[in-house]
Amino acid sequence: MWNYTLRRLLLIPITLFCIILVNFVIINLAPGDPTTVTEVSQEGMAMRREDRSTAFGGDERYLQFREFYGLTLPILYNTWPSLSLSYVQNTLWQLENRKYTPDDPKEMPVKEYDSLRVTFGDQSRFIMPHLLNVIETPDTEPPIRHLAAHFFIRGGTRPGYTGYNLTPDQKKWNQKVTEDDQLLRSMMWEKTASQEKINAKIDQMKNWYHQNKAFYNFEPDGKQKIGIFFLETRFTRYMSRVIHLDFGTLRNDSNKLVLTEVVKRFKYSLTLAVIPMFITFFLCQLFGFVMAFWQRSWPDYTLNVLFLILYAIPVFVVAPFLIENVALHHDFPFTNIPIPISGFTSPDRIYEMQTSSQRLFDVIQHIALPIVAVMYGSLAAEARLSRTAILEVLRQDYVRTAWAKGLPPSTILIKHVGRNAAITIVTSLAGSLGIILGGSLIVETLFDINGFGKFFYDAVINRDYNVIMFSALAGSFLTLVGYLVADLAYMWLDPRITLE
């Protein structure tokens, strides 16, 4: 068993790496831009507004956001240091004339132009020698030379480190790039500037470039290009943070860590996942026994039809029904206690004044309906699965032998039938461990519970990559752990099973 467990534990990091890789590629290839902002119109319709910020330094907040999340780099591999001078010249011409070729009768679409401009701005730090070559060439058209200077400044600009616990080297880097960024911005000239002033600015750029090309590695050799190919990518930058358990900050508030925000919400989603899981396990066994023992009779047919109906009804129908027809203006049976319709607990001013037992009772009142909304669908599916498993076990020879020996029915049903039939249910429920952090998105949203499901929904709407990636990683990890726990539970349920 220990060898098997060790092998499974060693496979978990490899599996998680593959899962992260697939999810990372899908998220980064998704249509739209992470700077897209979701708004609600006056008519109540969801709308997306895109920040059409310049790619070469016109909007500092836009560039800082993209630099912070590594969005200025290629996704998996980086070939930008190998871009040719002809590519740079051709792209500058396209950006200046808004056409792909001189023969095109129409201008390129705005979205394609913006995409080309942003991509070229991201590439500029890797093509600084070519940009300087274009700027220095006297035959270059003035508009293209002016545009190349913009991208040269964009390529020379570097982001600083953020946070409160910076190392001396990081502080030294911040001081250096701050001075260089200010100096580079002062080198830009107006389109109406005289030729003498333009030549003076170009000389400043040349001097700055030659003084800093080694520091910023503007001219990498073959070995360094190989390192850039693998290491200067979005995925590598993200994985380097994950290895150090740094899952980033929230997009809307860089002072809040993703991990800290998840921990705050963990207890809510944990409660709404684990409690329904255990209740479902015992209830599905109970209903499975009833349907199996009275097979092809009215209890079996009635429960089968009931569970089919419950399984077919979506949660976004059941949850509002429970709120409007069960909770709203109604009390708990045989009491005068109103049924809460939102929140995990009473308001803080009330909850903080309660004793421990009162708080427990308060939580039970608030989660009663959400638990019903979470578990009814899985109960319907697992009960029918339990029925099939119990019927299969009842037909086994060892069960017939137990009946023939005259063993007590409770011993037969619990020790022989229930224990072996539970193996199937454990397998089915094992994967649901992964929803502990995900919670029930719809239920948490409709019942206004500040769990991780609602948190994840807001992250998807806001294109918060850090939260989305952490959700995928945490859910996958818990699912893998769940299946490992299920395999180990098989040995306890059935001694005939070995993991060697």
SS3 letters for the chain? Answer: CHHHHHHHHHHHHHHHHHHHHHHHHHHHHCCCCCCCEEEECCCCCEEEECCCCCCCCCCHHHHHHHHHCCCCCCCCCCCHHHCCHHHHHHHHHHHHHCCCCCCCCCCCCHHHHHHHHHHHHHHHHHCHHHHHHHHHCCCCCHHHHHHHHHHHHHHHCCCCCCCCCCCHHHHHHHHHHHHHHHHHHHCCCCCCCCHHHHHHHHHHHHHHHHHHCCCCCCCCCHHHHHHHHHHCCHHHHHHHHHHCCCCCECCCCCCCEHHHHHHHHHHHHHHHHHHHHHHHHHHHHHHHHHHHHCCCCHHHHHHHHHHHHHHHCCHHHHHHHHHHHHHCCCECCCCCCECCCCCCCCCHHHHCCCCHHHHHHHHHHHHHHHHHHHHHHHHHHHHHHHHHHHHHHHCCHHHHHHHHHCCCHHHHHHHHHHHHHHHHHHHHHHHHHHHHHHCCHHHHHHCCCCCHHHHHHHHHHCCCHHHHHHHHHHHHHHHHHHHHHHHHHHHHHCCCCCCC
The mean pLDDT values, 10 residues at a time, for the chain of 500 residues are: 81 90 84 52 44 44 68 90 94 92 88 89 93 91 92 89 79 90 91 90 94 92 92 89 83 80 83 85 89 88 92 88 86 85 86 88 90 88 88 86 86 82 75 59 85 82 82 82 78 68
- Report the pLDDT value the prediction gives residue 48, as an integer from 0 to 100: 47
- Report the pLDDT value the prediction gives residue 94, as an integer from 0 to 100: 93
Q: What is the pLDDT of residues 322-381, one digit of tens each?
A: 888 888 888 888 888 888 888 888 888 888 888 889 899 999 999 999 999 888 888 888
Structure tokens at 297: 């009779």
Its pTM stands at 0.73
Contacts of residue 81, defined as CB under 8 A and 6 or more positions apart, other chains included, come to 126, 127, 220, 225, 228
Q: Which residues pair with 49 in a beta bridge?
A: 37
Q: Which amino acid is at 113?
A: Y
Structure tokens at 204: 């400043």
Distance, CA of 31 to CA of 137 (rounded, Å):
39
The backbone torsions φ and ψ at residue 236, rounded to the nearest 5 degrees and listed phi first, read -65, -40
Domain 258-493 CATH superfamily:
MetI-like (1.10.3720.10)
- Report the pLDDT value the prediction gives residue 459, as an integer from 0 to 100: 83
The backbone torsions φ and ψ at residue 40, rounded to the nearest 5 degrees and listed phi first, read -115, 125
- Report the pLDDT value the prediction gives residue 51, as an integer from 0 to 100: 44
Structure tokens at 345: 């607990």
- Report the pLDDT value the prediction gives residue 34, as an integer from 0 to 100: 54
Q: Which amino acid is at 58?
A: G
CB 339 within 8 A of CB 332: yes
Distance, CA of 14 to CA of 483 (rounded, Å):
16
Contacts of residue 209, defined as CB under 8 A and 6 or more positions apart, other chains included, come to 128, 132, 156, 218
Q: Enumerate the domain spans of the chain.
A: 52-68+77-232, 258-493
Q: Which amino acid is at 397?
A: D
Q: Is the dihedral of CA 63, 69, 74, 77 positive or negative?
A: positive
How far, rounded to the nearest angstrom, does the alpha carbon of residue 348 sit from its chain's CA centroid? 30
- Report the pLDDT value the prediction gives residue 146, as an integer from 0 to 100: 93
Burial class (CB in 10 A: 0-12, 13-18, 19+), 272: buried
Q: Which amino acid is at 492?
A: W
Q: What whole-number percentage of the chain has pLDDT above 90?
A: 25
